[in-house]
Amino acid sequence: MESFGTFAAVLAIAQAFGLGLVPSLLLAALAMSTSPASVLRVVNDLHASGQVTERVLHLSAFNCALAVVVFKVVVGYWVLATAGSVFQALWSSLVVLVVSAGLGVLFGVAVPALLRRTGATARDATVLFSLAVLLLVTLTHGLKFSPLLATLAFGLVSRHRRVAFSQAQRNFGSLGNLLTLFLFVFAGATLDWRDAVAGLGLALALVAGRLAVKVAAVALLARAAGLSWRKGALTGLALTPLSVFAILLLEQTRYLGVGLVDDLAPLAALVLLLDLVGPIVTQRALIWAGETHSGKAN
């Protein structure tokens, strides 16, 4: 409800501002995502744990997975509408989704089983898990499928199978810090400040609409999820950061000979705004929920 409510709200706002149908659909799909990199950084820095923290981590992963699925469907629709090729449209959407998710699930089942069999869950878990992720990314990227969806499926399945990497460092330790830095440098180098300024008005409206839907949807279902209304609202508030992999998804469309990143000026402003403000909002939400050291001290 939260993800598709966000999709509907962003689509309606983009259309109200006169954006074309396909750019509006793409923008709505990308706005569904929540940044796992930003959320993980805040959670790790604050040593946060609890109901809100766990739900934010899981919802971030689910939001990103759903955003990839919807984005691929929209790209397939765009290919069909412009090129008229049913095969190319199916390949760029359905086939990519199924194969990418399938490879992620396969790794998510095989890697934990291998680690349990070799007894490596208690040692060198960071290195082994990192190598598995890098192998999966290399494989899917080389085959021109979706590394994002594959790794998300891998992580979700591994977590669902309750694999505990007792000696693994959070966020892959120093390696994760380095890769996170490269991710944000890449995003900053890809975005154009002129696009960000041009799309600032629409971006502000999208930020407000996106945040309102996320807070309302999670709060509405808070009781059913075993949370208080307050913690439900704080969970929705903590989902503010927009995932930088929105830029990576658009870059992947270049495989199709499409420069979609140039058609979405509001996305540049949206990513820059929420990458700067989003982590601060997440930090405050976790502190207000009393799930950090500083929150407990207060």
- Enumerate domains of the chain plus CATH numbers: 2-166+173-290 (1.20.1530.20)
In this model, does residue 252 exceed pLDDT 70?
A: no
Residue 211: per-residue pLDDT: 94
In this model, does residue 167 exceed pLDDT 50?
A: no
Report, as an integer, the average pLDDT of 74-84. Answer: 74
Q: What is the pLDDT confidence band of residue 55, given thresholds at 50, 70 and 90?
A: very high
Residue 275 vs residue 100, higher pLDDT: 100
The dihedrals phi and psi of 158, each to the nearest 5 degrees, come to -60, -45
Largest CA distance in the chain: 61
Report, as an integer, the average pLDDT of 46-61. Answer: 91
In this model, does residue 149 exceed pLDDT 90?
A: no
- The residues near 77 (Cβ < 8 Å, ≥ 6 apart) are 22, 25, 89, 93
Q: What pTM did the predictor assign? A: 0.75
CB 40 within 8 A of CB 248: no
Average pLDDT in the chain: 79
Show the tokens assigned to 209.
């609409």
Q: Which runs of E-coded beta strand occur in 14-87?
A: none
Residue 258: per-residue pLDDT: 53
Q: Which runs of E-coded beta strand occur in 68-126?
A: none
**Distance between CA 117 and CA 104 in Å, rounded?**
20
